[in-house]
Amino acid sequence: MTALETLKTFDENSLPDLDTVVLGALEFLAEAELPKLDFSQYKKPLVVGSGNAAVVGRMLFANRPAVFADESIYRHILKQNPSIDVVVVVSASGSKHAVGIVTHAHSAGLPVHLITNTPGAPAAEKLPPESVHVFPKVREPYTYNTSTYLSMLLARGGRKPADINLFIREEIDPVLSYFLKGYDAFFLLVPGEFEDVRAMLRTKFDELFGSKVSGRAFTFEEAKHAKTVVPSDTECFISFGQENTAFGKREQRLHVPLPPDADPATVIAIGYYVIGHIQKQNEPYFKENIGRYVKEASELFGSAITQIVE
């Protein structure tokens, strides 16, 4: 069974690990049609998202003037920036906080665009069709959000999903082996040009491991600033794209290559794939607890949240 076939058939009793989801998402996106985004008619967008969606928003608008916010501060940002002429909401589900953000932006008299993966999303209810940009996704466990955000980022251009998949198979698999087993903490190093990816990797550790397995992520330059004062023999130092010659003991270092023309989508896919291998070599913390969590989250957000996002 291919990774994509696994994603199409798994159920609540057979949730896949993140590395399988990465490969399945890349298989799916290699054949998917990705819409193009054009906001050139606006001079100063406010780009809003929650969690990793906020990070994806920064990447999507990285090469143009824009203001960025999350669900906690977007109201304040709007008040402080009267030159904002559009609000762009990034939300894979198009629900939860996205609904309130869209409503508030409308009340402020601003045009609103929604970038989402969910046709008929609640946040799109009052938006004209041309303001709703729906990207393809494949079914995944709740919170994994791999095909969702990769589809948005891959639409910007850069490496093709099939090329990323091949690189993982040929260059990443051979270096992983069982090196990751036995560690309870991971120190991830990414090149400075991918600093936004750090937050996404940290979030994935939070979602999959909680406090059971520690995951920290820094750029190489940031890591020089008192991040390794307290050493640990059970912390693994994983460097992406650049050899680590400074941090951790030699026997605790793992170098993960990146292709010369790597873009954010490539680094996210490879980073998630490595984290998926860490997930495989630890207790199934996520799988044992996600059922309970979605019940609690459904009450918290006032809408039904399921273990599987179709």
- Tens-digit pLDDT profile for residues 41-77: 999 999 999 989 999 999 999 988 899 999 999 999 9
pLDDT given at position 256: 97
Give CA–CA dist 11/19, Å, rounded.
17
- Average pLDDT, stretch 73-89? 95
3-state secondary structure of 19: helix
pLDDT given at position 180: 83
- Tens-digit pLDDT profile for residues 179-219: 788 899 999 999 999 999 999 999 999 999 999 999 999 99
pLDDT given at position 165: 97
The tokens of 249 are what?
């003991």
Helix runs in the chain, H state only: 3-9, 18-31, 52-60, 74-80, 97-107, 147-154, 161-167, 173-176, 195-209, 264-280, 285-301
Sorted by sequence, the CB contacts under 8 Å of residue 67 that are 6+ apart come out as: 44, 45, 46, 47, 77, 81, 84
Q: 231's torsion region: left (phi>0), alpha (psi -120 to 50) or beta?
A: beta
Give CA–CA dist 151/140, Å, rounded.
14
Nearest Cα to 227, choosing from 238, 218, 236? 218
3-state secondary structure of 141: strand
Partnered with residue 134 across adjacent β-strands are: 116
pLDDT at 261 over 70: yes
- Tens-digit pLDDT profile for residues 226-244: 999 999 999 999 999 999 9
- Average pLDDT, stretch 102-119? 93
pTM of the complete model beyond 0.75: yes
- Which of the four pLDDT bands, split at 50, 70 and 90, describes residue 178? low
The tokens of 231 are what?
């050493």
In the chain, the domains with their CATH numbers are 45-134 (3.40.50.10490), 159-286 (3.40.50.10490)
Q: Is residue 170 exposed (0-12), middle (13-18) or buried (19+ Cβ within 10 Å)?
A: exposed
Give CA–CA dist 155/153, Å, rounded.
5
